Chains A and B, each alone.
Chain A
Amino acid sequence: GENVEQHPSTLSVQEGDSAVIKCTYSDSASNYFPWYKQELGKGPQLIIDIRSNVGEKKDQRIAVTLNKTAKHFSLHITETQPEDSAVYFCAASSNDYKLSFGAGTTVTVRA
């Protein structure tokens, strides 16, 4: 089955700086790569996703890049704000519509 590894497990950044989270996957058949944000006491919520036919996607301050050859994808958050503090999960999926999740990254934005 798919194995997704996520790094780092914790990340502390100064407000206004950028944050980068990296994930690798094992199954070359995976073609969908979402990122979820989980705030305290809530369920994960999709913030951005990318499909294997695209190398980069951007939505305001967040962006995701995908390198299919190397089997890794990354989340980039620019101009971090206190409300960006949360746990972030990457995931990978193929045409079976099941998601395999990374272990999560706890992001803390320092004021």
Chain B
Amino acid sequence: DADVTQTPRNRITKTGKRIMLECSQTKGHDRMYWYRQDPGLGLQLIYYSFDVKDINKGEISDGYSVSRQAQAKFSLSLESAIPNQTALYFCATSASGATNEQFFGPGTRLTVL
């Protein structure tokens, strides 16, 4: 089984709808991240969490919110989706301590019409 899973893998929605993307991990890592990938822009950090009670904004948090329900679960919400939020979304995890290595999930392709 995959260590970092994301649901759904694909989603098509309409402008104004509320969308939640979910991420679960079995790696036992404390740190979790949400990234957005657009062609030619690499990966941009939306939000990150270093433990259950810690939530931090990344580079592009406007229009997004997150919830860290448990150590293993980190959800990303779009309260009112807009077309320019059409992108590939990745969740990642890393262990606490002197390491920066991040492990990525398979991604969610979101299309907002």
**Minimum Cβ distance to chain B for residue A86 (Å):** 14
Q: Are B101 and A89 in contact (CB under 8 A)?
A: no
The interface residues of chain A lying within 8 Å CB-to-CB of B15 are: none
B56 to A, closest residue via Cβ? A98
Docked Cα-Cα span, A99 to B92, in Å, equals 11
Q: Are A99 and B59 in contact (CB under 8 A)?
A: no
Q: List 9 A-B contacts (CB under 8 A).
A: A6-B42, A32-B100, A43-B106, A44-B43, A44-B90, A98-B48, A99-B43, A99-B45, A99-B102
A46 in contact with B101 given A6-B42, A103-B41 (CB within 8 Å): yes
Interface size grouping (class) on chain B: 20 to 34
CA distance A93 to B40 in the complex (A): 20
B contact set with A: CB distance below 8 Å: 4, 31, 33, 40-45, 48, 50, 58-59, 90, 92, 94, 100-107
Would you call A25 an interface residue if the criterion is a C-beta within 8 Å of the partner chain's C-beta atoms?
no
Count A-side interface residues using an 8 Å CB cutoff. Answer: 24
A-side interface residues toward B, CB under 8 Å? 1, 4, 6, 9, 32, 34, 36, 41-46, 49, 89, 93, 97-104
**Nearest A-chain residue to B105, judged by Cβ:** A43
Knowing A43-B107, A44-B90, the reply to whether A97 touches B100 (Cβ < 8 A) is: yes
**B58 neighbours in A (Cβ, 8 Å):** 98
Are A43 and B90 in contact (CB-based, < 8 A)?
Answer: yes
Inter-chain CA distance A109–B42, complex, in Å, is 21
Q: How far is the CA of A77 from the CA of B33 in the complex (A)?
A: 29
Instruction: List 9 tightest A-B contacts by C-beta distance, closest first.
Output: A43-B104, A101-B42, A32-B100, A103-B42, A101-B43, A93-B100, A44-B104, A43-B106, A104-B42
